[in-house]
Structure 1
Amino acid sequence: MREFLSRRPRLARLASEVGKFGSVGAIAYVVQLTATNLLWAGGMGSMAGQVVGTSCAIAVAFVGNRFWTFNDRASTGLGRETFLFLVMNGVGMLIQVGCQAFSLYVLGLEGALAQNVSGNVVGVGLGTLFRFFAYRTWVFPPDPVPDAARSQT
């Protein structure tokens, strides 16, 4: 596998980013699940608990993605990156909450299991696909000057 990836540096870089993104996402997901379920157990409503829990996970994800997953990409300014990260996570959260709202209000599934499956499995899965694409494309864009070209100047 290493030989295969060594002959395909772009694929190797993508595989590395996917692995790091997945690791950061797993940690953020545990934060989100824990916070959401604790808030629900404490009496907070389904939708509000989901939003607050997801917001906690967004903070964890920003730090991990900026300083580990995409640390080799161009730094376009912490303010710009934070703003775009929050916008893209807002869209990701709408995808997640939309799945949960569909389950709750259209299908009438009100139990904790249904809420976890719709919001924390289906919604998170679809939101994660969107976030990975958005982070790579807009939030942490590739460096316009490759390392090899920079070292020759």
Structure 2
Amino acid sequence: MQLISTLYRRFAHLIHELAKFGTVGAVAYVTQVAATNLFWYGLGLPELAGQALGTVCATVVAFLGNRFWTFRHRSHGRLLLSYALFFGLNGVGLLIQLACLWFTVTVLGLDGPLARNLAGNVVGVGLGTLFRFWSYRRWVFRAPRQAASEAERG
């Protein structure tokens, strides 16, 4: 029991940050799925265009939630740079999603609502999320100490 308590104390900040990231991600995910399906089935857009536009909507939600809640304690010095990095890294996450969707539709030949949603909105979002959490902490919402030491060096 003491080991668990010690581990929790050591990683409490990361655990709380990850929980907030997950909450923001859940809201962004609902936005993603709803918007993507609206673009696909409500507006009749092609699968890649609908996925891309749904992801852009979710990205706006995620930036606001992460900037002002999840990582509010981290460096926010350069808002425009943070914004550009966030959207650039989300572009990489989007490419991961699109690759999963493309592979499922084009290579596997599975093209229906279930296949599209599993490929783009489950597998693609899952893999993209792992990349996003790591990259946000590393480059966008850096710890104040890390940001200050990099500014001194560069």
Tell me the TM-score normalised to structure 1 length.
Answer: 0.89
Q: C-alpha separation between the residues in 2 aligned to 1:6 and 1:19?
A: 14
Name stretches of at least 5 consecutive residues in structure 2 with no aligned partner. Answer: 147-154
2:19 maps to 1:31 = no
Runs of 4+, deviation exceeding 2 Å: 1-7
Partner of 2:63: 62
**Residue of structure 2 aligned with 1:7, choices 6, 9, 29:** 9
Q: Percent identity between the aligned chains?
A: 57
CA drift at 1:40: 1.0
CA RMSD after TM alignment: 1.5
Partner of 1:138: 139
8 A contact 1:76–1:140 mirrored in 2: no
Name stretches of at least 5 consecutive residues in structure 1 with no aligned partner. Answer: 146-153
CA drift at 1:39: 1.2
Q: C-alpha separation between the residues in 2 aligned to 1:47 and 1:7?
A: 44
CA drift at 1:6: 6.2
2:90 maps to 1:89 = yes
Partner of 2:113: 112
CA drift at 1:77: 1.0
Whichever structure has more helix as a proportion of its residues is: 2
CA drift at 1:118: 0.3
Tell me the TM-score normalised to structure 2 length.
Answer: 0.88
Which region of structure 1 is more displaced relative to structure 2, 69-78 or 85-94? 69-78
Structure 1: which amino acid aligns with 2:9?
R
CA drift at 1:52: 0.4
CA drift at 1:91: 0.2
